[in-house]
A and B are shown apart, each in its own frame.
Chain A
Amino acid sequence: MSTDVTTPPVPAGPPPATDLRPAQPQESPGRRPSIGERLTQAAYLLILLAATAMFVYPLVWLVSASLKPKSQVFDNRLIPRQVQWSNFVEVWNAGPVLRWLFNSTTVGLMAATAVTLSSALVAFGFAYFRFRGKNVLFGLVLSTMMLPGAVTMVPVYLIWNKLGFVDTQIPLWAPNLFGTAFYIFLLRQFFLGIPRELFEAARVDGCGYLRMFWRIALPLCRPALIIVFVFELKASWSDLMKPLIYLQTPDYFTMPRGLKQIVDGYALSGEYHWEIAMAATLLATLPMVLVFAFAQRYILDGIATTAKQG
Chain B
Amino acid sequence: MSRARRGGGGAAGENRAGWLFISPWILGFVIFTAGPMVASLVLSFTDYSLVGETHGVGTANYARLVEDPRVAKSLTNTFVYALMFVPLGTVVALALAMLLARVGRAAGFFRTAFYLPEMTPAVAAGALFLLLLNGQTGLVNTVLGWFGITGPNWTTDPAWLKPSLAVVSLWSMGGTVVILLAALANVPRQLQEAALLDGAGPWRRFTNVTLPMISGAVFFAVITNTIAALQMFDQAYTMFYGPQQSSSASEESLVYMVYLFQNAFEFFDMGFASAMAWLLFGIIMIITAIQLKLGNRWVYYEGDRA
Contact = CB atoms under 8 A, between A and B. Distances in A.
B237 interface: yes
Given A22-B108, A48-B96, A159-B36, A179 B24 contact: yes
A263 B238 contact: yes
Contact of B22 (A44, A126, A292): A126
Nearest to A124: B21
B131 A74 contact: yes
A121 B305 CA distance: 28
A264 B243 contact: yes
B124 A48 contact: no
B128 A76 contact: no
Interface stretch (A85-93, A219-227, A299-307): A299-307
Instruction: Tell me the interface secondary structure of chain B in the complex.
Output: helix
Nearest to B141: A76
B88 to A, nearest CB: 14
B150 interface: no
A76 B25 contact: no
A186 to B, nearest CB: 14
Contacts of A157: 264-265
Contact of B189 (A26, A56, A144, A152): A26
A215 to B, nearest CB: 15
B280 interface: yes
Interface stretch (B69-77, B158-166, B270-278): B270-278
B121 A131 contact: no
Nearest to B234: A240
A165 interface: no
Contact of A3 (B3, B274, B278): B3
A256 B277 contact: no
A134 B17 CA distance: 12
A35 interface: no
Given A158-B39, A200-B2, A21 B120 contact: no
B216 to A, nearest CB: 8
Contacts of A299: 115
A52 B113 CA distance: 6
Contacts of B273: 153-154
A79 interface: no
A20 interface: yes
Interface string A207-238: 00100010000000000000000000010011
A74 B137 contact: yes
A200 B217 CA distance: 36
A233 to B, nearest CB: 11
Contacts of A57: 139
B131 A274 contact: yes
Interface stretch (B59-67, B78-86, B178-186): B178-186
A58 B36 contact: no
Nearest to B265: A245
Given A55-B114, A76-B139, A200-B5, A241 B234 contact: yes
A47 B100 CA distance: 10
A76 B142 contact: yes
Contacts of A240: 121-123, 233-234, 237-238
A74 B1 contact: no
A177 B26 CA distance: 12
Contacts of A158: 39
B4 A152 contact: no
B106 A45 contact: yes
A288 B118 CA distance: 10
Interface string A288-310: 11011000100110011111101
Nearest to B101: A23
Contacts of B94: none
A79 to B, nearest CB: 15
Contacts of B120: 59, 285, 288-289
Contact of B220 (A126, A159, A256, A310): A310
B138 A45 contact: no
A210 to B, nearest CB: 9
Contacts of A61: 128, 132, 139
8 contacts: A131-B15, A150-B277, A151-B280, A179-B25, A203-B5, A240-B237, A307-B179, A308-B183
Interface of A: 3, 6-8, 11, 20-26, 41, 44-45, 47-48, 51-52, 54-59, 61-62, 65, 73-76, 118, 121-122, 124-126, 128-132, 134, 137, 140-141, 144, 146-159, 161, 175, 177-179, 184, 196-197, 200, 203, 209, 213, 234, 237-238, 240-241, 244-245, 255-257, 259-260, 263-264, 267-268, 274, 277-278, 280-281, 284-285, 288-289, 291-292, 296, 299-300, 303-308, 310
Task: Give me the 3 closest cross-chain CB pairs, A-B, nearest first.
Answer: A178-B28, A125-B21, A129-B18
Interface of B: 1-5, 11, 14-22, 24-29, 31-33, 35-37, 39-40, 43, 50, 96, 99-108, 110-117, 119-124, 127-132, 134, 136-139, 142, 171, 174-175, 178-179, 181-185, 189, 217, 220-221, 224, 227, 231, 233-234, 237-238, 242-244, 257, 260-261, 264-265, 270, 273-274, 276-278, 280-281, 284-285, 288, 305
